Amino acid sequence: MKRFLIAAVALLATSAAFAQNRQIDYVHYDWAQMGRYVEANKALENKDVDVVFYGNSITENWAKMRPEFFESHGFVGRGISGQTTFRLLGRFRQDVIELNPKRVVILAGINDLAYNDGIVPLENILDNIQSMCELAKLHGIRVYLCSVLPCNRFSWRPEAGDRSADVVTLNRMLRAYAHSAGIVYVNYFPEMENGNGIMKEGYSMDGCHPTEKGYEVMEEIILDALD
């Protein structure tokens, strides 16, 4: 009987410790990085926000590498490296809608193609982007939906292989949706691509992320669209 009681107490202690650790993991694991821009968003309370640039590392790097472009036009950058459309959809209300911008520029999808959150059909990528667009329109925010940039290799996930053909297919789907939904489609692809599904020489640092020169080309395109 004494051995049974000792074993029961040990089992309860182990279960409690496991539950506590699981709770700590749940509290601290911010899958969509909802906490990333909390303070930056607070700084914009009661301020007029015109355009939010929303996306993954391509958008995040843009704001970091070309801060003068964002500052001179009053643009707000809300990109987070590595994010798929699932994560972007998860934080869309907090990092876009609640800022009450007039417009949002959405550039997303390449990390889904890289399998950052597992294998995802193109239709599901489009679904997530459509949901973001619909939420924006519901709140009176004009959407500028961007093409995915040329990319034939993923330095951070080489096992995904060459998805350049899927980039073209996804862009075709995005363009068709934008036209059917009355959304502005911002097509970076033709000016960034060299004719073989990859970025022009000097436009990318790794085959997927733009250099400053690449961003300068994109800036001309997006400014023309916004104007």
Q: What angle do CA 201, 80, 185 make, to 5 degrees?
A: 65
What are the boundaries of each domain within the chain? Answer: 1-30, 32-226
Residue 119 and residue 82: Cα distance in Å, rounded?
15
Q: Is the dihedral of CA 129, 131, 137, 141 positive or negative?
A: negative
Residue whose C-alpha is closest to residue 141's, from 225, 59, 37, 50? 50
Q: Class assignment of domain 32-226?
A: alpha beta
pLDDT tens-place values along the chain, 227 residues long: 544 444 443 434 444 443 344 444 444 468 889 999 999 999 999 999 999 999 999 999 999 999 999 999 999 999 999 999 999 999 999 999 999 999 999 999 999 999 999 999 999 999 999 999 999 999 999 999 999 999 988 989 899 889 999 999 999 999 999 999 999 999 999 999 999 989 999 999 899 999 999 999 999 999 999 98
Residue 64 and residue 59: Cα distance in Å, rounded?
9
